[in-house]
Amino acid sequence: MTDLIERFFAGERRALSRILTRVENGTPEGRSYLRQLYPSSGRAHTVGVTGSAGSGKSSLTGALAAELRKRGHQVGIIAVDPSSPFTQGAILGDRIRMQDLVLDPGVFVRSMASRGALGGLAPTIDDVVAVMDAFGFPYVFIETVGAGQDEVEIAGTALTTVLVNNPGTGDDIQALKAGIIEIADVLVVNKADRPGADVLVSQLRALLSLAPSEGREVPILSTVATTGDGVSDLVDAIDEHREWLDKSGELDRHRQQEARHQILSVAQRILLERVRRETPEESLSELITQVAGRALDPHTAAEQLVERGGLV
């Protein structure tokens, strides 16, 4: 097993797959692999594809990968679907929309369950992206869980965020609200063969014109993922965004911000795990009883937990 990392760097897909599992699970072995391969990451163009459930994220991701294959690029895809909040089980079904790519040796599709993470991604998504990146895929797509209004984590994980919209799913006030629409680097109106597509495009355009542009216009593209219409232009728009990141200095800013976020969130997880490890189950149960019975407020209880864990 020690040569797994060598096989990884030799380009063996089975080694990639096994390392992905260990890194996703956050095992000590996985962390050791991540440490060894991390210096080789940072080269891929990471592209987030987000939008509501059924908006066509998987089909569009598949169509984008097919177009990039035509242009001679290899593509890694990470597709996240939700875990059950009750059983932690999951049905991961995004591959169904990517059947044409399954036997293409230049494409690697990995499904991930959200495992309780909020924000449309999974707890170890950044680590998993780094593995795909280090393997050498020039493009790594990250497809989020069906996202509504507030799942904005993807903008930190990916360099370019593509927000997929559909005609007939709400008026322009929906688009005016804060949240997910603000993180889009590229806006897509998918299922553009359906009625109302032109209206949506002009609504989105009008909306964007209300906001001061930061030296870059957010492009709006129309696609029909199932036929491939508009997909080539979308790839161009994604590439143009990457060029803009490079030229404007935004790339460095993004990387700094993301590194900061990752360090702090891992630190948070380590601290939480330490508190859990140091706290006997009885003292936690005791606090739970007190808070549930309104004898104690949650903040005071949490402070006591941290103090007892010897962390302050």
Partner 1 sequence: MTASSETSTQGEAGQKIRVLIAKPGLDGHDRGAKIVARALRDGGCEVIYTGIRQTPQMIAEAALQEDVDVVGLSILSGAHLELFPRIVEELTSRGLDDVILFCGGIIPEEDTEALEAMGFSAIFRPGTNTQEIVSFVYDNAHSE
Using CB under 8 A, which of 111, 169, 226, 232 touches partner 1? 111
Any contact of residue 2 with partner 1 (CB under 8 A)?
no
Q: How far apart are CA 26 and CA 127, in angstroms?
A: 9
CB of 86 to partner 1, least distance (A): 5
273 interacts with partner 1 by CB under 8 A = yes
Q: Radius of gyration of the chain from Cα atoms?
A: 21
Q: Which residues contact 1 (CB under 8 A, 6 or more apart)?
A: none
Rounded Cα distance, 256 and 191, in Å: 36
Which amino acid, residue 182? E
Sheet containing 160-165: give its strands across.
107-113, 75-81, 139-143, 45-51, 160-165, 186-190, 220-223
Stretch of 32-40, 92-100, 143-151, 198-206 contacting partner 1, by CB under 8 A: 92-100
At what angle are helices 231-248 and 250-278 packed, to 10 degrees?
90
Would you count residue 28 as binding partner 1 (CB under 8 A)?
no
By C-alpha distance, which of 152, 186, 246, 177 is closest to 64?
186
| Residue 69 contacts partner 1 per CB under 8 A | no
Tell which positions 175-234 bind partner 1, by CB under 8 A. none
How many other CB atoms are found less than 10 A from the CB of residue 70? 11
- Beta carbon nearer to partner 1, 20 or 235: 20
- According to the binding rule CB under 8 A, does residue 115 interact with partner 1? yes
Of residues 43 and 269, the one with the C-beta less far from partner 1: 269
**Contact between 86 and partner 1 (CB under 8 A)?**
yes
CA distance 163 to 306: 40
Q: Which of 5, 9, 18, 136 binds partner 1 (CB under 8 A)?
A: 18
- Rule CB under 8 A: is residue 11 a binding residue for partner 1? no
Binding window for partner 1 (CB under 8 A); candidates: 11-19, 133-141, 215-223, 241-249: 11-19
Which residue in the set 90, 183, 199, 306 belongs to the binding site for partner 1 (CB under 8 A)?
Answer: 90
Handedness of CA 95, 98, 123, 144 (dihedral sign): negative
Q: Tell me the site size for partner 1, rule CB under 8 A.
A: 37
Applying CB under 8 A, the residues found at the interface with partner 1 are 13-14, 17-18, 20-21, 25-27, 83-93, 95-96, 99, 102-103, 108-111, 113, 115-117, 123, 272-273, 276
